[in-house]
């Protein structure tokens, strides 16, 4: 069983990591939007090319994402059960 101090440390650490990931994700989203907008200005066929690459990449990473989400769900379930 975790002590209150250990639990507090774990929660603080988790929130700090979540905050850092959120900041990185926001930065990446801004950069992606800028690249997308620039490419839209450069070429009219961009949307067609983007859709093709998006579909290919989604198919490639979907299994990995599903596995990661399943591991998170299992950990959450274990924490709730204990």
Contact between 69 and 61 (Cβ < 8 Å): no
Question: What does the pLDDT read at residue 32?
Answer: 92
pTM score, whole prediction: 0.56
Gyration radius from the chain CA atoms: 19
In Å, how far from its chain's centre is CA 2? 29
Mean pLDDT, residues 26-46 taken together: 89
What confidence tier does 27 reach under pLDDT thresholds 50, 70, 90? very high
């Amino acid at each position: 069983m975790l002590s209150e101090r250990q639990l507090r440390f774990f929660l603080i650490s988790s929130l700090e990591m979540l905050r850092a990931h959120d900041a990185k994700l926001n930065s990446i989203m801004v950069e992606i939007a800028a690249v997308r907008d620039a490419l839209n200005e450069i070429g009219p066929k961009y949307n067609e090319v983007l859709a093709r690459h998006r579909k290919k990449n989604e198919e490639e990473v979907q299994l990995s994402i599903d596995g990661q989400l399943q591991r998170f769900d299992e950990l959450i379930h274990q924490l709730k059960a204990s």
